[in-house]
Amino acid sequence: MWDTLLMAFALMLVLEGLVPFLMPGVWRETFRKLTETGDNQIRFIGLTSMLAGLLLLYLVK
């Protein structure tokens, strides 16, 4: 199980690094806008992301 978890974490890091590597200006602007949003909006984005991940895991499994 640890192998699968580490592979998933490694894949997440690769995917997270794609946008800053390919489009650093877009990433910087997006990050700047994100720092200006409120806590509740950031929490909603995090919750939506987690739910989408859980749904995807459910559909794959």
For residue 6, the model assigns a pLDDT of 93
In this structure, the chain runs to a length of: 61
**Predicted confidence (pLDDT) at residue 2 exceeds the cutoff of 90:** no
For residue 44, the model assigns a pLDDT of 95
Helices (H), 1-61: 2-22, 24-36, 39-60
**Predicted confidence (pLDDT) at residue 61 exceeds the cutoff of 90:** no
pLDDT in tens, 5-57: 999 999 999 999 999 999 999 999 998 998 999 999 999 999 999 999 999 98
For residue 38, the model assigns a pLDDT of 93
Which residues 6+ apart lie within 8 Å of 30 measured at CB? 19
Residue keyed to tokens 């978890």? 5
